[in-house]
Amino acid sequence: MKTQLIALILGCTLALNGCQCNDGRKPQDDDMKPQPNAYKSPEEALKQTQEHLHLLLNENQRKVFGLASDEEIQQLTTKLAVPISYLQLERLGDTTRIQNDDGYWYGLGNGDATKIGISVERAGDVWIQSTIGMKKFVQATSRHSGVTRLVEVPGLELSFVELTENGRVSYVPIADYADAKLSADRRYAWPELLRILDGYRVQLQREFGDDFTKGNLER
């Protein structure tokens, strides 16, 4: 089951061969060819996405993220860069805090405001452009200071920010997850969060059986 992170919130997936998304307007650069989506570093993948971002967003998408013009989009700078970790269901019994960097999330903005997010992820020996948009991450990282990691739980379709303040690490859902009994207004210690997630996993497995186990649920 793919994560919310990989499902492109803007509806424009940057696949391995790259793509261009627009609203029917003629691109400014008629000779722009699809770019190969395989880079040596996350920074290189980010740079290529930033350079083409004004061509990838249509008018409706620009309004969603408060971006008024090509010029504004081209002037966006990186306000936040944090690693992304994927927590697989088989690791719910392991209380070791997750620290593997499976990808990176970059919040782009102007002034003090973060407007839009871009993520890149590791794919074997290369880094690829993954997702553009990610409004909930923009809101969550703007709401909380001290964000040091984003944690995705692919099998449960849940997302969290890791906060580190005064040497104390805690985890906050990016939204209320009522079915999992998780509140965006609460901070959870890692062992506590794992217990709740494992209980939610058991609940879904009992309720949906093989459909959940095989990743066939549409939630």
Label residue 71 exposed, middle or buried (CB < 10 Å: 0-12, 13-18, 19+): exposed
Find the distance separating the first CA and the last CA of the chain, reported in whole Å: 10
Which domains are seen in the chain, by residue range?
Answer: 42-214 (3.10.500)
* Cβ neighbours, 10 Å, residue 177: 19
Closest CA to 53 of 111, 104, 116: 116
Q: What angle do CA 8, 62, 118 make, to 5 degrees?
A: 40
Give 168-198 pLDDT, tens digit per residue. 999 999 999 999 999 999 999 999 999 999 9
The predicted pLDDT at position 148 comes to: 96
The predicted pLDDT at position 1 comes to: 41
Residue 82 has pLDDT above 90, yes or no: yes
The predicted pLDDT at position 45 comes to: 94
